[in-house]
Amino acid sequence: MDPTHLRTLQEIVKHGGFSRAARALHRSQPAVSHHIRQLEADLGVRVLERVGKRAFPTAAGATLLAQAGPALEQLELARQAVQRLRGRVAGRVSLGTGATFATYVLPAVLGPLRRRYPELELVVVTGNASDVVAAVGDNALDLGIVTLPAAARHLDVSPFAVDALVAIAPPGPGWRRGRPVDARELAGHPLICYERRGAIRAVIDEWFRRAGAAPRIAMELGNAEAIKRMVEAGLGVGLTSAITVRADLAAGRLVARTLSPALARGLAVVRRKDKPVSAALGALLAALEASRPRAARALAPPGRRRGSSGPPAAGQTMLAP
């Protein structure tokens, strides 16, 4: 069997179809189809079946992937080990995280990394913290950056930064700038916040519960950009990460108030303890570590002392689902 054909099968099953696998592999769809035909000819059995527009592994295909997956990973590690001897950092590395981190923090990390190592293939997947942790545990992702807690015996969890939350509203006389706002005051307004299945929403719900306040949830949205636009339209007040509103505050589109008690979520890098650190993964881990001071400043609430990257100050609440 040709390992290239096995990798093609792996990508088709991962993406659920030939066209997406072709894009991921940077190959034409006819080439991908040829790989599968050749693999099935070598084995004498079908490895895929099509249902509608999706492709699923047959029993033989699933067995093949289960047995061949570790071998493919070892081949990739061997290739990267040889490249390290040549002073090259190349290969594929995958990271899972939430939409906020992917939008406001990762570009400043991954852009310079890719320019430094142009042969590095960076794959980013966004999703809920529980899904990312599960994918890292299943070795479907090399590492994740998720909301704490993310405890699991087989995972290495390294705190990365503290993401402060703020309340936001449209500019106007009804919203007193500067003074922190507590849960009971916020409960008197229609609230626009994150959807329930996200980890950050669990952090917000726990903050209200501890204050004995019941928020009036007007909208539950999947990302910070949607929350900001609804708040800007005057449909309620919002709760979101401080980093998401810096440009809006500077432009005068929104005003923000810190929370009382202050509220933040902890972010951590998670990866399997038994995961070999390839050249590609090592380069990404080093870039993330170097970015921590800058990320800490960006994630801090408005008015917090510049350069502070330590734990929350006294009185700040650190919550997690």
Rounded to 5 degrees, what are φ and ψ at 269?
A: -90, 130
308, 203: one domain: yes
How many whole angstroms separate alpha carbon 239 and alpha carbon 246? 14
Last residue of a domain, one of 54, 86, 118: 86
217, 310: one domain: yes
pLDDT in tens, 22-46: 888 888 889 999 999 999 998 999 9
Q: Quote the distance between the C-alpha of residue 142 and its chain's center.
A: 12
With 50 as the cut, is the pLDDT of residue 75 above it?
A: yes
With 50 as the cut, is the pLDDT of residue 307 above it?
A: no
With 80 as the cut, is the pLDDT of residue 80 above it?
A: no
Rounded to 5 degrees, what are φ and ψ at 198?
A: -85, 150
- The more confidently predicted of residues 281 and 297 is 281
Last residue of a domain, one of 66, 86, 106: 86
pLDDT in tens, 236-269: 999 999 999 989 988 989 999 899 998 888 899 9
190, 306: one domain: yes
Residue 36 lies in a domain: yes
With 80 as the cut, is the pLDDT of residue 221 above it?
A: yes
Residue 156 lies in a domain: no
Give the angle 268-306-247 at the CA atoms, nearest 5°: 80
Residue 66 lies in a domain: yes
Residue 157 lies in a domain: no
Tracing tokens 């096995």 back to the chain, one arrives at 6
- 3: domain CATH number is 1.10.10.10
The answer to pTM > 0.85 is no
Q: What is the pLDDT of residue 174?
A: 66
Q: What is the pLDDT of residue 199?
A: 80
How many whole angstroms separate alpha carbon 191 and alpha carbon 235? 9
With 80 as the cut, is the pLDDT of residue 301 above it?
A: no
How many whole angstroms separate alpha carbon 164 and alpha carbon 240? 8
Residue 148 lies in a domain: no
DSSP-H helix ranges across 138-174? none
The average pLDDT across 279-292 equals: 91
The average pLDDT across 173-191 equals: 83
DSSP-derived 3-state class of residue 91: strand
- 246: domain CATH number is 3.40.190.10
Last residue of a domain, one of 65, 86, 107: 86
Q: Which domain holds residue 18?
A: 1-86
Residue 195 lies in a domain: yes
Q: What is the pLDDT of residue 302?
A: 66
Residue 154 lies in a domain: no
77, 182: one domain: no
195, 314: one domain: yes
Domain count of the fold of the chain:
2
Q: What is the pLDDT of residue 86?
A: 64
311, 183: one domain: yes
